[in-house]
Structure 1
Amino acid sequence: MSRPPAAPVLHALKARGSRLERQGDLPGALEAYRQALAAAPGDPEILASLAGVAERLDMAEAAEALWRQARASAPASAEAVDGHARALGVLGRFDEAVSLLQSVLRADPADARLWNTLGVTLTRQGRADEALPFFDEALRLDPRSATAAYNRASAHFDLEGYEAAEIDFAAARKLARRPADAAMIDFAAATLALARGDLAAGWAGYESRLSPHAPRPVSFEAPGRRWTPNLPLEGRRLLVFAEQGLGDEILFASLVPDLLATLGPDGRLSLAMEPRLVRLLARSFPEAEVVAHHTETRDGRLRRSAPDLAAPRAVELWTTLGSLPQRFRRRIADFPAAPPPLRPDPARVAHWRAWLGDGPPAVGLSWRSGKLGGDRRRHYPPLEAWRPVLREQGIRLVNLQYGAEVEEVGALSAIAGRALMQPPGLDLKADIDDLAALCAALSGIVAVNNATAQLAGACDAPTVMLCGAGAWLTLGQDRYPWRPSVRPVAPKRFGDWSQAMDGALAKLRELLAADRRRPAS
């Protein structure tokens, strides 16, 4: 028979996992807890620690399995119930999560954590109005819960109750004890300020995304010193790192012309971008050096560099792409009426026009993000909600959805009563340069707020963009300040996608009518 591990060894493994977790080395913590679990299988405390780290690493299925094991090992543990319900919600298994929480709360209604998680689960379902009473109960039971105050603020944000959201975010910030919680609250409050049109406060708070305590923080290995908005740029050698998702990189690339003009003829701009964007941006900004950024995990930290710079020692200053609005977009009046578009390859635009040929207007569709876990689902309409656009007569429908499942395309085609056209030989996720050319060849695009919508708008393609809960990119306007070719549409009532899709169809018709009047290029 194997002997149980020596207590000092097990204690050391658990302590190492805890230390690495506090330091932000989540992969290292995961491995330490795995070793501890191997030494003590079924230990509920280790299972809970391992599940918590898996959650933070977006390992949703692993987290759910681990929390389920933790519940089996300690059926009376409220922590395990709470964690398992959270994991089920991230996976979109909302009914299971609600049923689990309700069954436990009926037996013990005094646990504030469980009321809070019930509210979070409903919010993730797009039922923020129903979630509010559960956050109220969580705060009644635990008035010092920063988590419940933050989540209630987020529900108010979804419902466009901006004043209530601001009050709750401020309360959550005062109650926050962990730096990671403070960074998360600061970022959410910044997006709220932007949604209300308070750009000065919003962009200042937006810097919290770079906090070392933010989820999965990135360290930048850059020559020169970090630029701040008060430092002059004229004649300087500046390196700019893109540091968010692909759609964010495309969005904030709209500020590059401002930056080039400010640097002037004696300045030099280098852009370190997502590798898929390099060709498109190099063509669009020939005055700049455009290279791929490189990201690796070292010592438990994400580290980003620009190893392909031609002259790294010449760089005097560096910054991040999302920090530029602090200097160049402090007021709505700072947004140019006609920003220069990105420049797809003309030969590839001609190729896609030839593929489309003559016929009714061709309209591209993209209906979700590539990631649908947790809170993201409520930002996107269900497939059935697309019926008004899909059933529109006199247009052809082109699939622009990266990572589209066969079942999704089949369901949409069935609703439309005709097959969606599939661009031959085009990887919609990997080949962004060619996707840009296809967008430029289409008569119009209807897309949710994802990378495809941002790309289409940046290429001056007529685009209807469906904005979901908590969307802040319109900056309190009834238009899209970033790109005039984009027409935003949002539900007037939270989750009412039928109304929003009717609005999207009306705007699509307007764009197509304008496209028919436009001279051929």
Structure 2
Amino acid sequence: MRHKPRTDSGLRQKQAVTQLLQQGRQEEAWRKIRAHLTLVPYDGWFLHEAARLARRSGDLDLAQRYYQRALKLAPQDAGLLNGLGLTHYDAGRWSEAEACYQAALKSHEGYAACHNNYAILLHKQRHYHLALEQYRLALLSKADYTEARYGMSTLLAHMGQLQEAESQMQQVLHVRRSDLRCRNALGMVQLQQGNFSAGWSNYQARYAPDNPDRFFTLPKLPMRYWKGEDLCGKTLLVRTEQGMGDEIQFSRFLPRLKTEKQAESVIMLGSKPLKPLMFSMPHLDHYLTREEAQHALPQADYWCSLLDLPQHFLNSTQPFGAHHPYLFSPKEQQAKWPILGSGKKIGIVWKGSTGHKNDSQRSLAHLSQLAPLFDLPDNNWISLQKGAGEEDITDFPHVQPLGALFSSYRDTAAVIAQLDLVIGVDTSVIHLAGAMGKACWVMLPAWARDWRWLANRDDSPWYPQMRLFARGQDEEWSAVVARIKQALQQQ
């Protein structure tokens, strides 16, 4: 009977902490937990709650210490092992996280949440087939596990299994209609399959305020957002939103706002590196950088984000249409960039921005991977590479290193205008070549291919002169290079 009051006190403490957490009063819960652990330092329940609170607040070192103390009491506790795995994952310690998840699943087979967490880790590491197995095990254990179903749907999209990805996303949205993160992912899958009407509509979720994974937030501008209203006699302000390649690709719609939608004036708010180039575009009245617009925002009747423009042209005879080329390089600019040598002039670019989330898949590791092409006779090779990877050129003195000298896309365009062909990975440079009407061969990654390259096609409706060389999921880049070499030999 002597110990009963202490047991009752501990129970009351647990109930109080649980109630505080349910009410969102985390600071008060923390104080009670710490006070209790001062008196009873190895109370497993309180250690677990302390660990979870520390992890959720971002104090990962403290969370790890609490989990490890709790595991001394219960070394095979699956919940503790899973929590410690999440802590390691959040800290970027992936091998430690994997060991914890495996131990948790060994202790508790069919632990759905842990299967899901392990799948997320494997997906992040691009172990796609192993991740898919873990997602399926999570859903086998808990059929209504919507978060696991969403994770699996995005994985299937990255694996190119687009129809199954869409099916899983539709199931998620049937349960969670307001899941804008899923709606955005669905939009990209639909666009890649050529379902443009539904795709562009769902893709608007990319900036929805309630989307936790939104790409960006729409700015608050002092004019209405354009949703297809009559533009006759009106001024439309268009704002770029994502990368340079996006701006180059979708700027094709700017002239069409005047020629087809009868806008009186079109103003583009774009990127500083593209400004000198964009002046060459017909029917564009003004081009301001976003930085310039912060000081003096031009007057307009409506505004629109650049990648929302395509949906307003879907009913036209040429929904992707542009008068190719729609970007140009003046002769005087080209004269500043003479290309030496004779034979076919071929420009190459082998790396994209290292900040791109899929750069490890889309970029080549080194220029040497293109070296088999250099054996072909009567070809004059010109590097268009600027930034990451440009130093690779030192090993290939027969390749003219012009890219490293570029100061703007106007310089890049001046060289592209003189070429017969551009060969490259999926970067802004290949979009520029396409916009200039230049023949362009694009090397596409095997995994997480961008939605703008339609499934099961080796051409592009966006750029008539473009040819796609997609890497198979069981191929190395060397196989793609071999196919390009064969195509060059057949010309």
* 1:244 CA drift (Å): 1.6
TM-score, L = length of structure 2 = 0.76
SS at match of 2:252: helix
Relative distance call for 1:344 and 1:147 in structure 2 (3 A) is farther
Task: Give the RMSD, CA atoms, in angstroms.
Answer: 3.6
What does residue range 474-489 of structure 1 map to in structure 2 within 5 Å?
474-476=453-455, 477-489=457-469
* 1:95 CA drift (Å): 6.1
SS at match of 1:447: strand
Counterpart of 1:329? 314
Counterpart of 2:264? 267
Relative distance call for 1:422 and 1:243 in structure 2 (3 A) is same
Q: Which amino acid aligns with 1:116?
A: N
Counterpart of 1:277? 274
Superimposed CA distance per residue, residues 126-150 of structure 1 (whole angstroms, 9 cap, x where no aligned partner): 5433432111012223333333212
1:423 matched to 2:402? The reply is yes
**How many residue pairs end up in the alignment?**
432
Counterpart of 2:333? 348
Relative distance call for 1:421 and 1:121 in structure 2 (3 A) is farther
Relative distance call for 1:390 and 1:95 in structure 2 (3 A) is farther
Given that 1:368 and 1:448 are in contact with CA atoms closer than 8 Å, whether structure 2 keeps it comes out as yes
Cα distance in 1 between the residues matched to 2:150 and 2:474? 19
Q: Which amino acid aligns with 1:505?
A: K
Counterpart of 1:436? 413
Q: 1:458 aligns with which of 424, 427, 435?
A: 435
Q: Which amino acid aligns with 2:182?
A: I
Q: For CA contacts below 8 A with separation 6 or more, give which structure has more relative contact order.
A: 1
Relative distance call for 1:384 and 1:424 in structure 2 (3 A) is closer
Given that 1:385 and 1:497 are in contact with CA atoms closer than 8 Å, whether structure 2 keeps it comes out as no
Counterpart of 1:21? none
Counterpart of 2:232? 234
Counterpart of 2:451? 472
Cα distance in 2 between the residues matched to 1:341 and 1:129? 42
What does residue range 53-452 of structure 1 map to in structure 2 within 5 Å?
67=60, 70-75=63-68, 76=80, 78-85=82-89, 88=92, 98=98, 101-176=101-176, 182-214=179-211, 215=214, 217-229=216-228, 231-264=229-262, 267-285=264-282, 287-294=284-291, 307-309=295-297, 311-312=298-299, 315-330=300-315, 333-336=318-321, 338-352=323-337, 354=338, 356-371=339-354, 375-383=358-366, 386-387=369-370, 389-394=372-377, 395-405=379-389, 409-410=391-392, 420-423=399-402, 426-427=405-406, 431-452=408-429
Given that 2:88 and 2:94 are in contact with CA atoms closer than 8 Å, whether structure 1 keeps it comes out as no
Superimposed CA distance per residue, residues 336-391 of structure 1 (whole angstroms, 9 cap, x where no aligned partner): 37533211343232222x1x212344433323331357555334455499346554
Q: Which amino acid aligns with 1:257?
A: P
Q: Which amino acid aligns with 1:227?
A: W
Gap regions ≥5 residues in structure 1: 1-10, 19-42, 52-65, 296-304, 514-521
Given that 1:237 and 1:267 are in contact with CA atoms closer than 8 Å, whether structure 2 keeps it comes out as yes
Identity of aligned residues (%): 22
Cα distance in 1 between the residues matched to 2:482 and 2:127? 21
Counterpart of 1:519? none
SS at match of 2:260: helix
Cα distance in 1 between the residues matched to 2:233 and 2:319? 22
Cα distance in 1 between the residues matched to 2:387 and 2:25? 38
* 1:472 CA drift (Å): 2.3
SS at match of 1:221: coil
Counterpart of 2:16? none
Q: Which amino acid aligns with 1:482?
A: W
Cα distance in 2 between the residues matched to 1:50 and 1:439? 51
Q: Which amino acid aligns with 2:217?
A: V
Relative distance call for 1:470 and 1:150 in structure 2 (3 A) is farther
Cα distance in 1 between the residues matched to 2:386 and 2:62? 35
Counterpart of 1:30? none
Cα distance in 2 between the residues matched to 1:357 and 1:384? 20
Cα distance in 2 between the residues matched to 1:278 and 1:432? 9
Cα distance in 2 between the residues matched to 1:158 and 1:187? 14
Relative distance call for 1:263 and 1:226 in structure 2 (3 A) is same
Q: Which amino acid aligns with 1:349?
A: Q
* 1:318 CA drift (Å): 1.1
Relative distance call for 1:161 and 1:433 in structure 2 (3 A) is same
Cα distance in 1 between the residues matched to 2:374 and 2:51? 53
Cα distance in 1 between the residues matched to 2:156 and 2:330? 44
Counterpart of 1:500? 480
SS at match of 1:169: helix
Larger mean CA deviation between 396-405 and 331-340 belongs to 331-340
Q: 1:491 aligns with which of 465, 471, 476?
A: 471
SS at match of 1:466: strand
* 1:485 CA drift (Å): 2.4
Cα distance in 2 between the residues matched to 1:232 and 1:199? 22
Superimposed CA distance per residue, residues 178-217 of structure 1 (whole angstroms, 9 cap, x where no aligned partner): x6xx222111111111111111111111111121133353
Superimposed CA distance per residue, residues 72-125 of structure 1 (whole angstroms, 9 cap, x where no aligned partner): 45334634423533664xxxx876765564355444444434423433444445
Gap regions ≥5 residues in structure 2: 1-19, 28-49, 69-79
Counterpart of 1:8? none
Higher Rg: 2
